[in-house]
Structure 1
Amino acid sequence: MDIKLKVEDWELRQPFRITGEEWRHSTCITVELQDGDYIGRGEAQGVSYLGETADTIVAQINSVADDVRAGVSREELQTRLPSGGARNAIDCALWDLEAKSSGQTIWTLTGIEPQPVTTVFTIGIEETAEAMAAKAAGAAEYPVLKVKLDNKQPYERLAAIRAARPDARIVVDANQGWTFELLCELLPRCVELEIDMVEQPLPRGQDEQLDGFNSPVTLAADESCQDCSELETAARRYDMINIKLDKTGGLTEALRLARAAREAGCKLMVGNMLGTSLSMAPSFVIAQLCDFVDIDGPLLMKEDRIHGLRYKAGEVAVFDRDLWG
């Protein structure tokens, strides 16, 4: 089996801001595995807050290239690399390759029945509450909004968005930007504003104050739950787990985490790291199991891959097999 790597920058429509970070493009690392006439592809962006970069991901992929050429299986791959972007790209390429070489679809391989899903549309952090409200109003076709907030006027920004979009379901993502005190202050206001969920309010590794905390609004773990190894602790503190394939290191571990989280009584969400439709396709598989879906990465980009996902008013159709799987 042959392995090829590509590192590509995909320009965003406009700067995308979250707590402490800004992106103007998405760096995508693509793995292509060729076995005879069949080529499987996988794409990753990595986990930036854990220090992953394109260079570290490429180095990790190269470190197991000989294993891949020798025909490493998905299960063997779990022991060759840690969770993260490198394993994700290879794991998804292996799934794609198996689907193509066997003449089956990803749905047959996973036993999951595909249906269209509704994705959130993300409102990034802007300088003013008015600017964020204008973005929300401009996204009138999307029934579910995900609002990025930090500790700068979070209530004012959220209230302005709710006023602009009284019809929308709204979830909040603080990206580790709040304190426990600020969370407690904001939760009653979130109830008043009919917010469905608050994602990762506290910093990873500093959320022990959520042990035994009874929140009036669903709390979701993102940065605080990378894979199955962190589920037990996260399930004590959070009501929902946000599964991202770059965190889990691929679809294989993501499916395990989804099953284990459900067994632990958690709700599920699938998220993204601003990838193209090649990243979103395996995430769409996980989306079939989730309460909330966040696979809007391609909507934030100037261009997408051919055979990309089809979005209409927030609904994402079952993707074309020519894309992946």
Structure 2
Amino acid sequence: MQNLIFGPIISRRFGYSLGIDLSPNTKQCNFDCLYCELQGAKPQDSMREVIPAYEYVDSISRYLASNPKQKIDVLTFTANGEPTLYPHLLELIKTLKPSLPPHIKTLILSNGSLFWQQSVREALLEFDMVKFSLDSLNPRTFARIDRPHKSLHLESIKKGIATFATEFTQKTNGKLIGEILLLKGVNDTSAHAKELAQFLSRIPISRLDIGTLDRPPAHKATPLSIKEIETFVSYFEGLCVYIPRRASQDSNIPKRTLNKEELIQTLSMRPLTLEDMQALFCDNTLALADTLTKSHILKWEQVGNIAFLCPTNSTTKVLF
């Protein structure tokens, strides 16, 4: 059981998470990303080692029954690799989900590479939250950073993500979350930002996480600074963008003072987290934001474990 599930761990982005590892014994992935924290391995287009769905259902059910007081916000389906390669994903989620307490949500962390497959989309529609990664829309950069299996093509991946985003928001109340991981000198230019922003602003995602290396990677790669990430993020107007921060990284950033109109305009362009607000603005502006929230001019919107502040009458394309 301990090989199949892990945690719970506290996730800043999703709360108390109990992990479900769909490839617990070896890396099985159709990417071999430069930034992967797992040991490098040749990409594969299917799982060679597959654990039956009933073993997961039994392990999860026994864990929940044995730990009734354990705080769990979300069951996070992941893998030492790509979880949508797991061939019994639909069977697993459809069997398991009806037995879960209503407060426990289901989440899958995917690289988005197989969303063009109808069988994968059918399984993903059963999840409460789906997170996918999309590091570049430039074919050469995509090949360089994600190092995909030869059967994968960027245009198919792009169309698959767009198709699933529409299906997911039309057929469910789920949250679709995108993620971009930036590497210095690889996918961090303004051209990359503009191309990704243009595509992602046209599909209904609830949140976009943009970050950089935080753990030692399997391959040689260099992270960006918070300032460099902020510059990249400036192109993503109208989207709820979450940037993982550490207090020490923000200590030298000058904090701004905004009046009411400036604050509303800023939040109309891009909703901000409390972490963002505290890093960017002085105490007077934070107090103003609190006042405007109490007056219902601004509002907090929750996506996963992250809340974003935006105008109450916001016309952004983000779906909450």
Q: For CA contacts below 8 A with separation 6 or more, give which structure has more relative contact order.
A: 1
TM-score w.r.t. length of structure 1: 0.37
Structure with bigger strand share is: 1
TM-score by length of 2: 0.38
